[in-house]
Amino acid sequence: MRRLLQGIATSASGWIELRYHARRSKRLVVRNGQVEESSSAEQVGVGVRAFVGGAFGFASTTDLTETGIRRAVGIAQETAKTAAGAKRNRIEGIAKVALASGEFPLRTDDPLDRHSLEEKLKLVTRIDALVRSSSPHIVSSEVSYGEMLDEKVIATSDGASAHVFDAKPAFRVLAIAGKNGDQTRALETVGVTGGWSDLFAPRSPEETAERAVRLAVDQLNARPPTGGTAQVVLDPELVGLLSHEAIGHTVEADFVLGGAITAGKIGKTVASELVTMCDSGASEHIPHAVGELPVDDEGVPTERTVIIENGTLKSYLHNRETAAHFGVAPAGNARAYTYANEPIIRMRNTYVEPGETPVEELIGGVKDGYYLRGLGQSGQADANAEFMFGVREAWVLRDGKRTDLVRGVTISGNAFEVLGSVDAVGDDFAWEQGSGFCGKGQPAKTDGGGPHVRCTLTIGGEQDG
């Protein structure tokens, strides 16, 4: 396939990009002891992007013969030509960069296909039973395992020719507890780039289950918090979420050009000087982050981008088109979810660099506030960096000590103001967003993480009177 695509790419008139993408995925879901889903899926095809007259056209095909792919090239070029006629600002160009060539195998000692589906189903079934037997208050359980194995060939008329392998497994445990008509839920997850043992390196399946059970049951006795502004300690998952959702999207160059709040702010102070935030195609500090990839879908080798350095905004995130517009080098942020999607600007692993304060000191320094762990049921942020996240687990902190668990907590504010309020950054680090997807028209596997961070933000809760 690599030779075929390379041949078509180099013989085409004008700039084209070809991407063969074969995805094989499996999914196992057990709820309350019953297998609700055992499925496998295969999606294979070639996506073609053509650049004609300052505009892109895209076509995809499942016909993998040379004739079929050349037909798709023709449609993409024709579509680009039509688009060029309607475009107001023609695209200036595509950034020139040393493109990837060669084989890029997955790095793992324990590939997923070395483990049978029976073994995986047994684990899921066993953990599902464990959740329900862990506490008399558990009324429902759901445990699932999913894996996505990708093989891609990326070939462009300007020299990319990469053969890339990837595997992303994820494991999720949902526990629902009930008492006197009241119900609470807790979802705990892990997700990585890598193999079977890599998936359970952050924590064992049993530990993930134990976390979900404990949280669901404890929340039965928790009350909503009092609303208002508070000093909080955010865990690595919420730090990653804030970095990704509330900051990361506002520095994606397509959003910057669309009027995001960061437009024109490069070189300006946007956060406390304790904050350095990055986005990287590698798993910095801890291996197997889910957004890890060696080469992006434009054939650009991935690098680490410093978004904010000691509080100063340093860089946006680019594809080849926006990199040419801003006159910078692309760092491998373009990705497409399936063969039928065109590559767009995506984050990879977005995180805050660890600082120097031990976590106990972060918590110990809060007189009256909250310790907040993980995303609850939803999170959303705007182009003006205003965000709202549900929090999975929230503890009241009094005089530096955890006291009561509270539930139904949401946090909100402007992410840059929140980063401006950071007064201490922990010396720990974790990736914690590996099981989910980022949505931007298409899904993408992205990770987020960092150390614990102390800051000030708004807590949503009950209003008296």
**Residues between 303 and 342 with contacts to other proteins, criterion CB under 8 A:** 340, 342
Of 48-87, which residues contact other proteins (CB under 8 A)?
55-62, 75, 78-80, 82-83, 85-87
Closest CA to 166 of 146, 145, 193, 191: 193
Shortest distance in whole angstroms from residue 226 CB to other proteins: 10
User: Would you count residue 229 as binding other proteins (CB under 8 A)?
Assistant: yes
Nearest approach, Cβ of residue 418 and other proteins (Å): 12
- Residue selected from 388, 428, 442, 456 as contacting other proteins according to rule CB under 8 A: 388
- Report in angstroms how near the CB of residue 288 gets to other proteins at its nearest: 27
128-157: contacts with other proteins (CB under 8 A): 139-140, 142
Residue nearer to other proteins on the CB measure, 84 or 328: 84
User: Do the bridges between strand 401-406 and strand 368-381 make them parallel or antiparallel, or are there none, so unpaired?
Assistant: unpaired
- The DSSP code sequence of 183-248 is EEEEEEEEE-SS-HHHHTSSS-HHHHHHHHHHHHHHHTT-BPPBPEEEEEEE-HHHHHHIIIIIIG
d(CA 236, CA 239): 5
- Is there a contact between 448 and 351 (Cβ–Cβ < 8 Å)? yes
- The distance of closest approach from Cβ of residue 258 to other proteins in the complex, given in angstroms and rounded to an integer, is 4
- DSSP bridge pairs for 308: 277, 313
CB of 331 to other proteins, least distance (A): 20
Residues touching other proteins: how many (CB under 8 A)? Answer: 81
Which residues in the 4-23 window bind other proteins by CB under 8 A? none
CB nearer other proteins, residue 189 or residue 276:
189
**Helices 117-133 and 205-219: crossing angle, nearest 10°?**
30
Q: How far apart are CA 434 and CA 199, in angstroms?
A: 10
**Distance separating alpha carbons of residues 388 and 218, to the nearest angstrom:** 24
Choice between 32 and 312, CB closer to other proteins: 32
| Per-position x/- string for 26-45, each x denoting binding to other proteins as judged by CB under 8 A, each - no binding | -----xx-xx-xxxxxxxxx
Phi then psi for 2, rounded to 5 degrees?
-65, -40
Hey, which residues does 344 pair with through a beta bridge?
335
CB 78 within 8 A of CB 57: yes
* CB of 249 or CB of 288, closer to other proteins: 249
Whether the CA torsion 229, 233, 238, 239 is positive or negative: it is positive
Residues 166-225 that bind other proteins (CB under 8 A): 176, 178, 181-185, 224
Closer by beta carbon to other proteins, 14 or else 102 = 14
Between residue 346 and residue 385, which ones bind other proteins under the rule CB under 8 A? 376-378, 380, 382-384
**Smaller CB distance to other proteins: residue 78 or 361?**
78
**Could you identify the residue written with the tokens 């890029």?**
104
Nearer residue to other proteins within complex by CB, 152 or 285: 152
Nearer to other proteins, 227 or 364 (CB): 227
For helices 2-11 and 66-86, what crossing angle results, to 10°? 40
Contact string 237-266 vs other proteins (x = CB under 8 A): -----------------xx-xxx-x-----
For the bound state, the minimum distance from the C-beta of residue 311 to other proteins, rounded and expressed in Å, comes to: 20
**Dihedral angle sign, alpha carbons of residues 416, 188, 198, 41:** negative
State in angstroms the smallest separation of the CB of 50 from other proteins. Answer: 10
In whole angstroms, how close is the CB of 183 to other proteins at the nearest point?
4
Identify the DSSP state of 384: T
| Residue with smaller CB distance to other proteins, 202 or 227 | 227
Residue in the block written with tokens 């960096």: 385
**DSSP for residue 252:** B
Site for other proteins in 408-427 (CB under 8 A): 408-410, 412-413
CB of 42 to other proteins, least distance (A): 4
The number of residues making up the chain comes to: 465
Output 50 or 106, the one with its CB closest to other proteins. 50
Place of tokens 């088109």: 321
